[in-house]
Chains A and B, each alone.
Chain A
């Protein structure tokens, strides 16, 4: 409880102009936001096409599923754990969602709408179940998360290939394509109407979920307990927080968000294929670039979301700047390093 009163008193002091500036640059979120804006403006001035509405929409939408999965990863990492099985889990759940939607052996009373609803909801529930299993092994059987999820990475991948046999899923029913819906298509926004009209569902999911989770983590007892467990497990235990319950919650929610990300991913396309890129690395990168400390205890989901968008912007920017594709990965790696270093530097100064 002591830490909360501290934040309150700190916040009261922040009213002079210089302190406002310091607080703007004082968090990884604002640094990332600034970097993002500068990058967009700079690339836009080099190549006007970059600022075209469609590209701007794609800049925000492209990594939305990464950002959604990063919500759960943020929680897991804040409690001092990690999950490297999310990539395999996401592909498995995407295939599951597609398979439910095209399955034709339902009894006659099951309408297409119900099928579609099942295809959207069941992967999330299965994700939560897998998260619960992982969380159970990590907390109650006391096996380090990296070992458990390393194991699950293999197990899920193997099972997926055995079950799917490399088949692809097509012919999903009409109305299944949740991620292709443009909710504001008929709404005329006062600013950038074209931009908002073409925004697709994943962006809305990303933004709304991030806001909800950010509020939850900040104001609800369980949300705050995540930080307490990661920051100082012993103190958390003494203050009456059940470490096991909190870590379980983090893993279950992680499964839920991977499930949502999987549905976003599956409903984006007309073909669902088993491809197993190492997206767990992208998700973890987004999380740490967003300012989540790998040692647990600090970081926010807003940072992770901005970082996911930032990573996608870099990938696109390098193409628009005509950088040789042979060198893009090296430059991406360097930029990741620089953002992380900037975050560390800022933290060192603040703690000094």
Chain B
């Protein structure tokens, strides 16, 4: 018995590292495949106008027998991916502003302390039991969140997503902060403007499975192939939502590629300031461009001292604000399937795209001139 077990053990010890290493070596990186092979749709290069998207029929879901609350007070709950980070603190701020303006909306934000789909489902489930008039969400996983959102729709609760989508039939509308391909274009165009069309770059992201980040990267892959064939995509590294690890991974990229590295992309509001910190402390400002998605407050130190030229992001305060207005419009019956636009307070009229998505607008680029006007 003992001999047999030892044999198994020795065998597994020989086989396991070998198989892991061969599997690791076999990865071909022909196409970025972190986004479940969903179709990519790169925008045209440069200033060329994007062709008008083909109109698409409404593909969202509908609540079953929702009570008619047009014009009446409604109670909403907002369940973002997680609480305790600056980005979702900003969307919450926007929601509170909208609620105050409207006067007949009450919204509370509650979510797990870690971006964990399992916990997020539990939170939404609890609010269905508690009984609210509407749920706002930013999904940790588009598919996994589906069943619980459908349960909400069946209970007659209105469901609107923002920031991170769910499968369309699990929610009525999704407030899209910016299209994936728009973000990709803005990021790469910024790099090209700063370091030329033959720049070499690395990426620091949260995890390869975070849906939004994965889609942005796959769109970047497509857009770079199309518009910047001379750019070199050096490497993409994971750094969780961890400031320290993001800093270290940025350092690793800087050290590994040395002079070859022209730019670093940060894909999260944690990774971008961490990458900027790494570049600043390596005294490589100007030599390595840091471009990324981040909220203005985290980037002010770097933008103000000139190390970072452009930060790409929509305004998350506006995003939260728009989500509440969209919810109010559904309840009041002013936004119905098939509509092409919706009124959203101070943001004016927002367009409807892709069947059931409300588009906030093109991504916003923060620069030295305007970054100090924002406080979130």
| Count of interface residues, chain B, beta-carbon cutoff 8 Å | 51
Which residues of chain A are near B297, meaning CB under 8 Å? 168, 170
Whether the Cβ atoms of B208 and A325 lie closer than 8 Å is yes
CA separation between A284 and B238, bound complex, in Å?
Answer: 22
- Is A204 an interface residue when CB atoms closer than 8 A count as contact? no
Whether the Cβ atoms of B27 and A326 lie closer than 8 Å is yes
CA separation between A166 and B280, bound complex, in Å?
Answer: 25
- Is A113 an interface residue when CB atoms closer than 8 A count as contact? no
CA separation between A52 and B256, bound complex, in Å?
Answer: 9
A 155-184 binary contact with B (CB < 8 Å = 1; else 0): 001101100111110110000000010000
Contact size range, A = 35 or more
Whether the Cβ atoms of A334 and B256 lie closer than 8 Å is no
Residue of chain A at shortest CB distance from B33:
A326
Which residues of chain B are near A327, meaning CB under 8 Å? 20, 23-24
Q: Which of B83, B113, B254, B298 contacts A271 (CB 8 A)?
A: B298
Most buried by B among A49, A325, A331: A325
- Is B255 an interface residue when CB atoms closer than 8 A count as contact? yes
Contacts A275-B243, A277-B245 given; does A320 touch B84 at CB 8 Å: no
Whether the Cβ atoms of A277 and B301 lie closer than 8 Å is no
Whether the Cβ atoms of A167 and B86 lie closer than 8 Å is yes
CA separation between A168 and B296, bound complex, in Å?
Answer: 11
Whether the Cβ atoms of A165 and B89 lie closer than 8 Å is yes
Which residues of chain A are near B270, meaning CB under 8 Å? 273, 275
Whether the Cβ atoms of B243 and A269 lie closer than 8 Å is yes
Residue of chain A at shortest CB distance from B301:
A270
- Is B248 an interface residue when CB atoms closer than 8 A count as contact? yes
Contacts A170-B297, A319-B235 given; does A47 touch B27 at CB 8 Å: no
Which residues of chain A are near B238, meaning CB under 8 Å? 325
A 252-272 binary contact with B (CB < 8 Å = 1; else 0): 000000000000010011110
- For chain A, what secondary structure do more than half of its interface residues adopt (helix, strand, loop), or is it mixed? helix
CB distance from A52 to the nearest CB of B (A): 6
Contacts A157-B113, A320-B256 given; does A180 touch B281 at CB 8 Å: yes
- Residues B234-278 near A (CB distance < 8 A): 235-238, 240-245, 247-249, 251-258, 270, 273-274, 276-277
- Is A38 an interface residue when CB atoms closer than 8 A count as contact? no
- Residues A184-230 near B (CB distance < 8 A): none
CB distance from A258 to the nearest CB of B (A): 14
Whether the Cβ atoms of B88 and A166 lie closer than 8 Å is yes
CA separation between A160 and B25, bound complex, in Å?
Answer: 42
CA separation between A156 and B258, bound complex, in Å?
Answer: 40
Whether the Cβ atoms of B84 and A161 lie closer than 8 Å is yes
Q: Which of A52, A161, A168 contacts B86 (CB 8 A)?
A: A168
Which residues of chain A are near B88, meaning CB under 8 Å? 166
Q: Which of A164, A171, A274, A334 contacts B301 (CB 8 A)?
A: A171
Whether the Cβ atoms of A276 and B252 lie closer than 8 Å is no
CA separation between A269 and B281, bound complex, in Å?
Answer: 9
Residue of chain A at shortest CB distance from B80:
A166
Whether the Cβ atoms of A270 and B277 lie closer than 8 Å is yes
Whether the Cβ atoms of B256 and A276 lie closer than 8 Å is no
Whether the Cβ atoms of A166 and B240 lie closer than 8 Å is no
Whether the Cβ atoms of B23 and A276 lie closer than 8 Å is no
- Is B114 an interface residue when CB atoms closer than 8 A count as contact? yes
Whether the Cβ atoms of A277 and B244 lie closer than 8 Å is yes
Which residues of chain A are near B89, meaning CB under 8 Å? 165-167
- Is A323 an interface residue when CB atoms closer than 8 A count as contact? yes
Not counting A168-B297, A325-B236, a sample of 6 additional A-B residue pairs whose C-beta atoms are within 8 angstroms of each other reads A55-B255, A161-B113, A271-B273, A274-B85, A276-B113, A316-B255
Q: Nearest 5 pairs between A and B by C-beta?
A: A55-B255, A166-B89, A161-B84, A277-B242, A327-B24
